[in-house]
Chains A and B, each alone.
Chain A
Amino acid sequence: MIQRRLYIYIVAAASIAMVLIGLINLGSTALNQLLNATPPYSNVRDAYAGFGAVILVGLPVWGVHWWLAQRFAARTTDERASAIRRLYLYVVLAATGIALAVYLRRLIEDATGVLLASSSDGASITRALWAILVLAAFWLYHFRTGALDRTRVGESGVSATLRRWYAYGLLFLGLAFLLFGARNLLQQIWVLLVDRGQVIAPGGLVPTAQATMLTGLLIWGFHSQWTARSPIVEDDQRSTLRAVQRFLALTGCVALGLFGASQLLYYILARLLGIEHPGGVTTNILVALASPVATVIIFGLAWLWMQRQLAADADATEASRQAGVRHLYTHLVAFLALGTLAIGSAGLLWTLSDQIVNSLLAHPLNDWRDKVSLFVTLVVVGAPMWFTHWRQSPDLAERYTLSRRLYLYATLLGSVLAALISGAIFVYRLLALLLGTSDAAGGAPVVDMGRAMSVILVAAAIGLYHWRVLRADSAARPAITPIAAVPSPVSGEGARQIPSPVYGGGQGGGVVITITGATQEQIRQALSKLPDGADYTIRP
């Protein structure tokens, strides 16, 4: 049965790809001829022959196999509910959806370009329109088929997971298009406004950014509404994929928001220190500010929006999950902020070390102010973010969360790796100095040792601090209070009576349970799945 399904749906997927490629390219070639546009293929007859053949072979093959698939699905509910069928449907939906987004973006870009006189390629608009018509028809048909299947036999297990992969994947793609398009559009508007006198041709940057944003809005808007409707919303409320998609989006927004803020402050600080071209920027500083300002506005707003969405998602679930989401968010931001702070601190020490060592070697550097501006900015952005999100001694509920442990171990890992690599470089350059290698006379090993030491100091400080926190967490874990008297199981008829639980003083409270009908070995095996640090006593 599975082999038959696999055969039918693999052939259907391959043949539908042939049909789509053939139809889009054949139509484009015909439109180019009709509109006297420059054809993408040098030999039009070859194009007709090739794409015609692809359709002539692919269409009947897809037709026959899809007819068989529908026939079998109509016979049994197992067939209709099969994960292989859903895999086919969602793969086709994802592929046609992504292709649709590409052509939609091109259509909007060209149409806006024509309106703004930055593009005059009418044939490109017609070609994109044709491709959209073909893809939309196939996408809608498969979307409707999937909806009918869900209505008739429901969707659970692997099938529901496949649907989530499709929905949240496209949602993420749409969101990325929307945010990056909006950021680029705002940046272009800013440049046109502040440097209007110097722009001699606005070009197609505004239409391109606008097309990206609007395409993203359509994809995100549709899938966002679809996944927010019953019964999908109830089904997905506790889905890991949904949470992963939102946390990935949040991570991107936080990282880009911090990056934009750092760049913005860096330009401002560098100008205050009298640097004419911070970071090698040769253009007007107001134009250079366009990118960081647009990044901070768009990704800062998106950050708040994502945070609210996560909070709303958590509100719909039980209290423990709400707290888990809140902790994950806090530790994620703390981790990114610590990374920014660490890079800033290490960079600052590195620059100072460069300056001091090179001055001692009698070849002082001139570009230190630019680097100092950059690294001070990273410290200024990272430090307050880290201090406001990180808590060294939180309450018990937060102290032993998985997200805090992930944060601590990831930070420790990063620190150890950075210290290890820098340590190796330090020793290598020290040996080079002692053995008098070719560049030792110029003092290059001393400069490198100073740089490596900067990284080692910061990595060691961060690593030691977090190691102490880990130790403190372990020490503060409440011990399981020994239970003085455990009620013995009563033999005979009374053996069925379960004693009332007695709560001890351990984390989460100690519990006395009575198990009958299992050997000690079986009970020990079952209890071995308790989390790390959990303790138990078995008394016969």
Chain B
Amino acid sequence: MRVRPLGNIDRSSWLVLVGAAILAVVGMGTTFVVRTTWPAADTVTPTGVVATYVRAIQRGDAAQAWLYLAHDATQTPPGEPPRSVLSQADFRNQVQSSRQPTSPRVRILSVSQSGDTATVTLEVSRASGDPLTGATTQQVALSLVRVGVGWQIASDPFPWQFQ
């Protein structure tokens, strides 16, 4: 039997086809526009540092992401126990080994700043099979400390969370 893909398609099927095509184009266009109109990365605000760090992780650029981490355990924010010092090689291994085929969407939920420390809460959403939401979301809080005129991430950097 010969099945011609576009022969004798009824009107409702055409509407479905056109609707899906419009959605696909708008989806790609919106993502493209959002990506190309990002403000230039800055390292003088907590959100700028976190955004640059997350994008570097998603690109797999461990070397650039490393630049935004506070490597000195003494810089751990007050109230948090000192964490073990992570070497650059360990960090690179973490970034490379936990790469996923599809990266999650990351949104800033809140930013709080107090003197030389700041906390940026992020929402990380991944595609899931949940029919009611289509995605699973979780919150990740990154603590930052002021270093000179800029900021660095002082808490656990969670590279695998953003990949």
Contacts and interface: CB of A to CB of B under 8 A. Distances in A.
* Same complex origin of A and B: yes
A185 B23 contact: yes
A208 B51 CA distance: 22
A225 interface: yes
A122 to B, nearest CB: 11
A424 interface: no
Given A119-B101, A217-B16, A259 B30 contact: no
Interface in A280-300: 282-283, 287, 291, 295
A205 B20 contact: no
Given A116-B31, A184-B134, A222 B102 contact: no
A225 B47 CA distance: 51
Contacts of A106: 101
Nearest to A208: B127
A308 interface: yes
A289 B60 CA distance: 33
A298 to B, nearest CB: 9
Nearest to B1: A147
Q: Select the residue from A200, A204, A208, A217 with max chain B CB neighbours within 10 A.
A: A200
Nearest to A305: B12
Given A116-B28, A182-B20, A184-B134, A201 B13 contact: no
Contact of A205 (B32, B55, B127): B127
A204 B103 contact: yes
B60 to A, nearest CB: 7
A196 B34 contact: yes
B107 to A, nearest CB: 5
Contact of B105 (A147, A180, A183, A202): A202
Interface in A175-230: 178, 180, 182-189, 191-193, 195-196, 198-210, 213-214, 217, 221-222, 224-226, 228-229
B82 interface: no
A421 interface: no
A531 to B, nearest CB: 36
B39 to A, nearest CB: 9
A151 interface: yes
A112 B24 CA distance: 10
17 contacts: A110-B101, A116-B35, A118-B58, A119-B102, A188-B105, A198-B107, A200-B47, A200-B122, A201-B55, A204-B102, A210-B23, A217-B17, A217-B20, A229-B3, A291-B132, A295-B132, A309-B12
